[in-house]
């Protein structure tokens, strides 16, 4: 995918939490998962699945801004650290921008034209930014991601903790 790996993301999240504490702003995290990814591997093979992962990674790279960090979280999950999200509406808009970007991607693989969607969980927090808050933010984003999946997939769930 040519994206950062999980370890880099963890360090970047910690740096962002330090910055957010220092400047009294929110630290934002977006976790997304490709909907029905197993179906791509089972139906078309792992090579097509790899093409899907690469295409989603490229679309995310093109959709992120210079101050945002995108990383592969694991399997078919990706994570973004987005600084300076100052309201629930801004968080939802950022998450929705990512969801729509992926939905618009057309993937060509082995003569197939494929579309993918993602489910998205996004959290922004200001009041819980202790040095140990990273796992708490990830767990919150993961819960929101599963709410998006349970809500029908290809959707966004967000929370802003002030």
Catalytic residues: 76
* Strand duo 112-115 + 106-109: pairing: antiparallel
Q: Of 52, 22, 57, 26, whose CA–CA distance to 37 is shortest?
A: 52
Q: In whole angstroms, how large is the CA radius of gyration of the chain?
A: 15
CA distance 153 to 146: 9
| Per-position DSSP letters for 75-104, written without gaps between them | TTEEEEEEE---SHHHHHHHHHHHHHHHHT
* 156 Cβ contact list (under 8 Å, min separation 6): 92, 95, 96, 99, 120, 121, 122, 148
CA distance 83 to 81: 7
């Amino acid at each position: 995918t040519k994206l950062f790996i999980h370890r880099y993301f963890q360090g970047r999240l910690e740096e962002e939490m330090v910055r957010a504490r220092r400047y009294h702003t929110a630290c934002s995290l977006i976790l997304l998962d490709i909907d029905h990814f197993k179906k791509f591997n089972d139906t078309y093979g792992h090579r097509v699945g790899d093409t899907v992962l690469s295409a989603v990674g490229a679309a995310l790279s093109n959709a992120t801004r210079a101050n945002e960090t995108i990383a592969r979280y694991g399997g078919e999950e990706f994570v973004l650290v987005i600084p300076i999200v100052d309201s629930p509406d801004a968080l939802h808009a950022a998450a929705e921008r990512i969801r729509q970007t992926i939905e618009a991607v057309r993937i060509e693989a082995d003569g197939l034209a494929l579309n993918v969607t993602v489910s998205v969980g996004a959290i922004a927090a200001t009041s819980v930014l202790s040095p140990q808050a990273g796992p708490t933010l990830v767990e919150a984003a993961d819960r929101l991601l599963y709410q998006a999946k349970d809500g029908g997939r290809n959707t966004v769930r967000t929370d802003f903790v002030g």
